[in-house]
């Protein structure tokens, strides 16, 4: 069985991604969940992770990590995810009792990965600050990492700026460290998550018919959808769910050949822009497979089935 650590900033689409992941506990073993400042502050995303783990009946260990990106001040996305970072649903009060390890996420990940009897996969759905620090502080950890599944960047448009996707923009220095690590990466960028793997409002409405977890998922997605629609979107992206599904159901996706991808660290309008090196003669790492397309109906059905599987 695959061993997995998920690093996230819930975040409404992070919540959907975690819901899909925990629905497949017979297929993958989530050995830890870690949080990082991103969509909202670290204390809020950690509180949201506690709510989700309690609500979804998980007992995986939770560790909180970095509150700030490596170099610049954090920028958040409360306008999309709400003041709490997961607006739209009233989670039961007892979720604040969910235990938090005393370790920082970076040392927690290192301990978990280096003491695991097999290589570990990482799913990263937030700015890559924790993962970059893990790789830089404990370089020997790399040999125990099997694969990293990331939601971030784009080979086409940005969302937070014309050029940059949010997770890339918030901590481009971290993303560059992770991309340059040479580790095998599968990337769900906006070219996939916004342009191909979207949901319609009818599909989102249908989620409420899928049981108790469906009611929760639809409520938070309804909040998020109104913010996306107000921004001018017509279809609703569930970005982070793509990273989880690219690990659980890779057959749903069409992927590129492997590239090396650079990240702009400039302090101008290109900061956080990600650009693949498509030169056939490139001698770079070529360690990143970019997801380019998806069987959208099968993707939505997989999401429905995952949510409906909670009883």
Catalytic annotation, residues: 239
Residues 235-294 close enough to bind ligand BDR by CB under 6 A? 239-240
Whether the Cβ atoms of residue 246 and residue 235 lie closer than 8 Å to each other: no
Q: Which stretch binds ligand BDR (CB under 6 A): 11-19, 22-30, 102-110, 206-214?
A: 11-19
Report which of 51, 43, 32 is spatially closest to residue 134, judged by C-alpha positions.
32
Between residues 39 and 46, which has the closer beta carbon with respect to ligand BDR? 39
Q: What is the dihedral of CA 71, 72, 78, 83, to 10 degrees?
A: 80
136: CB partners within 8 A, 6+ apart: 177
- 186 part of the interface to ligand BDR, by CB under 6 A: no
- 7 part of the interface to Ca ion, by CB under 5 A: no
Residue 191 interacts, among ligand BDR, Ca ion, none and using kind-specific CB cut-offs from 5 to 8 Å, with: none
Between residues 44 and 285, which has the closer beta carbon with respect to Ca ion? 44
In angstroms, rounded to a whole number, what is the distance separating the alpha carbons of residues 155 and 136?
Answer: 26
How far CA 18 is from CA of 53, 139, 146, 201, 310, in Å, comes to 9, 27, 20, 21, 13
Q: Which stretch binds ligand BDR (CB under 6 A): 41-49, 163-171, 175-183, 275-283?
A: 163-171
Report which of 154, 304, 132 is spatially closest to residue 239, judged by C-alpha positions.
154
Q: Cβ-closest residue to ligand BDR?
A: 166
Between residues 106 and 151, which has the closer beta carbon with respect to ligand BDR? 151
Whether the Cβ atoms of residue 30 and residue 116 lie closer than 8 Å to each other: no
Residue 166 interacts, among ligand BDR, Ca ion, none and using kind-specific CB cut-offs from 5 to 8 Å, with: ligand BDR
Whether the Cβ atoms of residue 214 and residue 208 lie closer than 8 Å to each other: yes
203: CB partners within 8 A, 6+ apart: 300
Instruction: Mark residues 121-140: x for contact with Ca ion by CB under 5 A, - for none.
Output: ----xx--------------
- 171 part of the interface to ligand BDR, by CB under 6 A: no
Whether the Cβ atoms of residue 150 and residue 165 lie closer than 8 Å to each other: no
Residue that has been written with the tokens 């799913």 in this structure: 123
What's 223's DSSP letter?
Answer: H
Shortest distance (Å) from residue 6 CB to ligand BDR: 12
Shortest distance (Å) from residue 63 CB to Ca ion: 17
Shortest distance (Å) from residue 20 CB to ligand BDR: 14
Residues near Ca ion (CB under 5 A) are 9, 11, 14, 125-126, 240
Binding residues for ligand BDR, per CB under 6 A?
A: 11, 13-14, 39, 77, 80, 125-126, 151, 159, 165-167, 239-240
């Amino acid at each position: 069985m695959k061993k997995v650590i998920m690093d996230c900033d819930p975040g409404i689409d992070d919540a959907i991604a975690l819901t899909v992941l925990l629905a497949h506990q017979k297929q993958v073993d989530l050995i830890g969940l870690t949080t990082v400042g991103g969509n909202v502050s670290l204390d809020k995303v950690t509180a949201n992770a506690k709510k989700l783990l309690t609500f979804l009946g998980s007992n995986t260990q939770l560790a909180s990590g970095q509150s700030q990106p490596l170099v610049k001040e954090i920028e958040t996305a409360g306008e999309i995810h709400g003041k709490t970072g997961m607006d739209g649903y009233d989670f039961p009060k007892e979720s604040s009792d969910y235990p938090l390890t005393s370790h920082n996420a970076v040392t927690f990940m290192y301990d978990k990965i280096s003491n695991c009897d097999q290589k570990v996969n990482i799913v990263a759905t937030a700015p890559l600050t924790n993962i970059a620090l893990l790789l830089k502080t404990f370089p020997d950890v790399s040999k125990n990492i099997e694969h990293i599944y990331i939601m971030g960047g784009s080979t086409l448009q940005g969302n937070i700026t014309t050029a940059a996707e949010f997770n890339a923009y918030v901590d481009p220095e971290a993303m560059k460290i992770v991309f340059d690590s040479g580790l095998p990466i599968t990337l769900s960028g906006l070219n996939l998550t916004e342009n191909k793997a979207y949901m319609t409002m009818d599909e989102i409405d249908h989620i409420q018919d899928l049981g108790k977890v469906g009611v929760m998922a639809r409520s938070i997605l309804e909040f998020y959808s109104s913010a996306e629609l107000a921004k001018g979107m017509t279809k609703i992206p569930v970005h982070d769910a793509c990273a989880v599904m690219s690990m659980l159901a890779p057959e749903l996706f069409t992927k590129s050949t492997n590239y090396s991808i650079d990240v702009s660290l400039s302090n101008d309008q290109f900061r956080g822009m990600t650009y693949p090196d498509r030169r056939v003669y490139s001698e770079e790492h070529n360690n990143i497979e970019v997801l380019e397309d998806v069987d959208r109906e099968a993707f939505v059905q997989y999401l429905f089935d995952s949510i409906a599987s909670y009883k």
